[in-house]
A and B are shown apart, each in its own frame.
Chain A
Amino acid sequence: MDPTMDEFESDWVHAVFGAFRDEAVSLAADFGTRVKNEIDSVAATQEVRPPSATSLLASVVIESGNIAADLIHPGSESDSDEERDDD
């Protein structure tokens, strides 16, 4: 145990702070709601919340389509060729 604990437990300063320790803090009525709204907003903007199931499924479908296209046209490197042409 912390050796200073007993020393401070019997301290009058500790005793006078009992008024603060026993005190119930009254928060603004909307404090919790405000915090949760802020968290919700941050979660949306910072992409902390993953995409919804619908958009996740949509991205899988698009990716599958791309893979299928690659399989059908295996030699197609047109994108990179075009990029080189542009350069």
Chain B
Amino acid sequence: MDADVDDATLVATASQRGLRGQLAFEQLVDRHQSWLVRLLMHFLGSRSDAEDVAQDAFVRAFLSIGDCSDGKLFRAWLRVIARRLAFNHRRDARTRAQYEEKSAALKGTSAASEAGGLEGRDLLEQALSLLSYPYREIVVLRFVEELPLKEIASVLEIGNSAAKMRLARARGEFARAYETLGGKHGPDNG
């Protein structure tokens, strides 16, 4: 199938199933795999976990492609599936233990000294890893994915006002973590 075919056409073709539908869906995989793994990597903090969850998300999307009512919004639809799977993945006892360990580090007074010398991307990653998971999620959706509040609310399956409140709190927690780790920035106008 032509590489220029839009998502809506690919979704419509995939919905019809058959080998042609499967090939159309595989084209959707090629098109969306990079951003999806990136999103999940920032949610989960690990590329291998991100790839596992992304694979699961693609399979589930393939099986329920008929539920994607607007093919133009395939990316947004896939994002919701992936976010749910990432949330569940993170609930796994083993991964939860890792997150709790990282979150506990933020509360300790030695966090800054432990992370002394971090800068750039490493600093950003470390500060992000110190956030509680719901805050980490919303920070990634807003500041990495650059989603408007309405879409964030939709992905997180919460109301607009709840999303706005969570975003404000998450931003505050991130700013504290970033500063604690020695990050420098301009005037705090956020």
Report whether chain A binds chain B.
yes
Query: A27 vs B58: C-alpha distance in the bound complex, in angstroms?
Result: 15
Question: Is B51 part of the binding interface, using a Cβ–Cβ cutoff of 8 Å?
Answer: yes
Interface pair B174/A13, CB less than 8 Å apart: yes
| Interface-side segment among B4-12, B22-30, B68-76, B84-92 | B22-30
Interface pair A50/B17, CB less than 8 Å apart: yes
> B54 — which chain A residues lie within 8 A by C-beta?
31, 35
Q: Which of B22, B34, B144 contacts A21 (CB 8 A)?
A: B144
Question: Is A23 part of the binding interface, using a Cβ–Cβ cutoff of 8 Å?
Answer: yes
Query: A38 vs B29: C-alpha distance in the bound complex, in angstroms?
Result: 12
Q: How many residues of A contact B (CB 8 A)?
A: 36
**Least distance between B160 CB and chain A CB atoms (Å):** 9
Question: Is B182 part of the binding interface, using a Cβ–Cβ cutoff of 8 Å?
Answer: no
Interface pair A13/B58, CB less than 8 Å apart: no
For the complex, would chain A's binding face be called helix, strand, loop or mixed by DSSP majority?
helix
Interface pair A4/B164, CB less than 8 Å apart: yes
Interface pair B171/A11, CB less than 8 Å apart: yes
Can you name 14 A-B pairs with beta carbons within 8 Å?
Answer: A4-B148, A5-B148, A5-B149, A8-B142, A8-B143, A12-B186, A13-B171, A14-B190, A17-B144, A19-B120, A36-B29, A39-B26, A49-B22, A50-B18
> B118 — which chain A residues lie within 8 A by C-beta?
none
Interface pair A7/B190, CB less than 8 Å apart: yes
**Least distance between A70 CB and chain B CB atoms (Å):** 31
Known: A35-B55, A39-B62, A43-B62. A27 touches B42 (CB 8 A): no
Question: Is A25 part of the binding interface, using a Cβ–Cβ cutoff of 8 Å?
Answer: yes
Question: Is A42 part of the binding interface, using a Cβ–Cβ cutoff of 8 Å?
Answer: yes
Q: Give per-residue flags for B102-113: 1 if the beta carbon is below 8 A from chain A beta carbons, else 0.
A: 000000000000
Interface residues of B in 118-144 (CB under 8 A from A): 120-121, 124, 139, 142-144
> A27 — which chain B residues lie within 8 A by C-beta?
33-34, 37, 51
Known: A39-B58, A48-B17. 16 other contacts (CB 8 A): A2-B148, A4-B149, A5-B149, A10-B189, A13-B139, A19-B121, A20-B143, A23-B38, A23-B121, A25-B34, A25-B35, A28-B51, A35-B55, A35-B58, A39-B26, A43-B62
> B47 — which chain A residues lie within 8 A by C-beta?
25, 28
Interface residues of B in 144-183 (CB under 8 A from A): 144, 146, 148-150, 164, 167, 171, 174-175, 178, 183
